Amino acid sequence: MQFSAVTAGISMALQLPYFMGLVFTLVSFGLLFVVNKKADTASGVFWVFAFTGLMGAGLGPLLNHYAQLPNGPMLIMQALGSTALIFFGLSAYALNTKKDFSFMGGFLTVGLIVVIVASIVNIFLGSSLMFMVLNAAVVLIMSGLILFDTSRIINGGETNYIRATVSLYLSVYNLFTSLTHFELASDELNLSSLWQQLADKNINLMLCVTAAEKRGLDMQNTGVFAVAGLAEFAMLASEADKWIQFK
């Protein structure tokens, strides 16, 4: 995890573009098969470092994007703290009770399949609420997998330390990313609700088309905001008794 955090930090410092993050993630998925094949050999440790390093590097551009959003850095830190609490809390519970959680394997597998299918469907639906629900579901599934994996290690269900390490790493990685997505989507949903409340009070909400296009905003989905050209926006601002600018 520490090596993955280092590569994520390097990726953020270099401000790598989003597509590079996608490339790193896809390559790391390919390395996952190599790690599994080399798990019983001396070179297995090297491939684990290569895999976790690329996964961390792939996460960097996404974290940079989220960090630039309002409350982004704070929400990322909240997700990181929540991930640590969940992981250490569940691991400590499994270690102390030594309970066998292998019975959860089938339920967790089915849950993952359902989430993957629903995520593909939501690509076409584009529902923010469904996005939040899916990430909440992933948080629950990954929490279950932490219990499952830790239990297998304790009770001898998994004796290969490389496979055990990778399994736990993936659970923690997906737990963190899902918590981050959920926190930011929840914050965005609250902000959208606030805009709607202002619109319901007959407060005019204007969006400058020039600024919006410069920032790559979707002009087909402006919600409660009315779109105005730069000249019109300046005229309306000069006539208003009070106006607030959000950057």
Most confident of the ranges 102-106, 125-129, 200-204, 210-214? 102-106
C-alpha–C-alpha distance, residues 47 and 35, integer Å: 6
Helix axes 128-154, 72-97, angle to 10 degrees: 30
- What per-residue confidence (pLDDT) applies to 139? 93
In the predicted model, is pLDDT for residue 234 greater than 60?
A: yes
**What's the pLDDT tens digit per position in 135-155?**
899 999 999 999 998 988 888
In the predicted model, is pLDDT for residue 191 greater than 60?
A: no
C-alpha–C-alpha distance, residues 234 and 232, integer Å: 5
Helix axes 44-67, 161-200, angle to 10 degrees: 10
Mean of the per-residue pLDDT values of the chain: 80
C-alpha–C-alpha distance, residues 4 and 52, integer Å: 5
pTM for the model = 0.74
